[in-house]
Amino acid sequence: MGRFARAGATVGALVLTASLALTGCGDDQKKPAFVAGGQQADPSATAAVTTPGTADGSPQQDPPPLRVSPADGATRRPVSTEISAEIPGGGKVSQVVLTAANGTTVAGRMRRDGSSWVPSAPLKYATRYTATVTGTGADGQTHQGTSTFTTMAKPKSMIGSGLYLFSDKTYGVAMPVVAEFSPGIPKKDRAAVQKRMFVQTDPPQPGAWHWIDSGTQAYYRAPEYWKPGTTITVRLALAGIPLSNGRYGNVDRSATAKIGRSFEMKVDNATKQMSVYEDGALIRTLPVSLGKKSTPSSSGTMVVMEKKESTVFDTRDEPNPNNRYVTKIDYAQRITWGGEYIHAAPWSEGVQGRQNVSHGCVNVSMANGRWLFGRTLVGDPITVKGTERKLAPGNGWTAWSMSWSQFVAGSALPVPDGGAGPAL
């Protein structure tokens, strides 16, 4: 086990932090993490609307007032503020118009449940806004209210967040949406943060978020692998969200990516063979060598996270001198943060299919390593079974190494049967 040349996982504006203390034949057991925050509620305001008189000229009573949030005159509102309204007696908001002091109209849309209107981008700091809300009450009358509020100055204590997804990229069917936080989000803040993490798929597929115990990662996935050809659109609307520790998210992140063909790798320690499936059909069986008993490979469903055609594994800082080496590696595909890879290992070709001799990696021949590397995508799944060690949660993109019921149990918000649809 030891240090891989620190090329780092590909990530947009990520901050790398502490690594997992897990074995692997590859690199430095790194694990990035990032942070965001929760949403702050606002007081409501009341605005009466004057209506015309009756047909006989007598005055008509004004409809009950519509209550708007943020309140008229509110100050220091977070730039993550959403607009909501309460119509007396019940009713439905039909329109929200939000304008800045310079007259610019802010784009946005209602949540699916109608609870609030979400701006399509963070509001500006230290800026005055006017919200005009129109709705229809249970009595059929039209109600309207207006509220002018001011956002807070840019806070000094801000925390970044990370998103493992890039626009215009194509990923494998097991690619989870991965949000990273550092330090981890406290349990009491996770529901508010999760409510601001939007995912939409085309064709529509249900899905849910799952938080690992430390709160440093949250995964979004469907009950089954994504359908080939799916488009995934993500917005982590975390800019300006306040956390209970007094910090604020510093930026929104978004991406629109595609899912490619179905490509799965399944490894059985009993046979020491890898079965490779494309679009459900078995296309090749490859002999492998897994981790020896002192450094076993992890059993579970992992995901290709990073690909390096050529790199160097440097394990000279390992406590065990028997595990120290510096070796050039070809066709390396990372599957855990703890240093496990699929890679070509010409030195073990003589025992592949018969004996485990690696430090935790999945060894294949040079020819098979080249063949696999040329066909895989980041996000392709590999399932290993029958080894001495179970995959640890968070040691890589472990969203698929649990049942659907176990996965939804990690959501900070209730998940409808079958999974939630898009939040907006």
Structure tokens at 382: 């590999």
Q: What is the pLDDT of residues 268-309, one digit of tens each?
A: 999 999 999 999 999 999 999 999 999 999 999 999 999 999
State whether residue 322 is helix, strand or coil: helix
pLDDT given for residue 257 in this prediction? 97
pLDDT given for residue 250 in this prediction? 85
66-69 sheet: strands from edge to edge: 45-47, 66-69, 84-86
pLDDT given for residue 247 in this prediction? 86
Measuring CA to CA, how many Å separate 28 from each of 163, 164, 273, 294, 420? Answer: 21, 19, 27, 18, 37
Q: Where are the domains of the chain?
A: 3-8+262-405, 65-150, 158-261
Name the one residue in this structure whose structure tokens are 């080894």: 387
Burial of 104 (0-12, 13-18, 19+ CB in 10 A): exposed
The residues, ordered by sequence, that sit 6+ positions from 294 with a Cβ below 8 Å of its Cβ are: none
Q: Do 3-8+262-405 and 65-150 fold alike per CATH?
A: no
pLDDT given for residue 419 in this prediction? 77
pLDDT given for residue 118 in this prediction? 97
Pick the closest to residue 200 from 241, 236, 160 (CA basis).
236
- Give pLDDT < 70 ranges for the chain: 1-65, 313-326, 421-423
What CATH number does the domain located at 3-8+262-405 have?
Answer: 2.40.440.10
CATH level 3 topology of 158-261: Immunoglobulin-like (2.60.40)
CATH level 3 topology of 65-150: Immunoglobulin-like (2.60.40)
CA 261 to CA 280: how far, in whole Å?
10
pLDDT given for residue 73 in this prediction? 97
pLDDT given for residue 35 in this prediction? 27
- Whether the link from the prior residue into 183 is cis, omega within 30° of 0, is yes
- Count CB-CB contacts under 10 A for residue 325: 13
Pick the closest to residue 362 from 340, 378, 377 (CA basis).
340
pLDDT given for residue 325 in this prediction? 58
- Count CB-CB contacts under 10 A for residue 323: 16
E-only strand ranges, 239-339: 248-249, 253-259, 263-268, 273-278, 281-287, 298-303, 306-314, 326-334
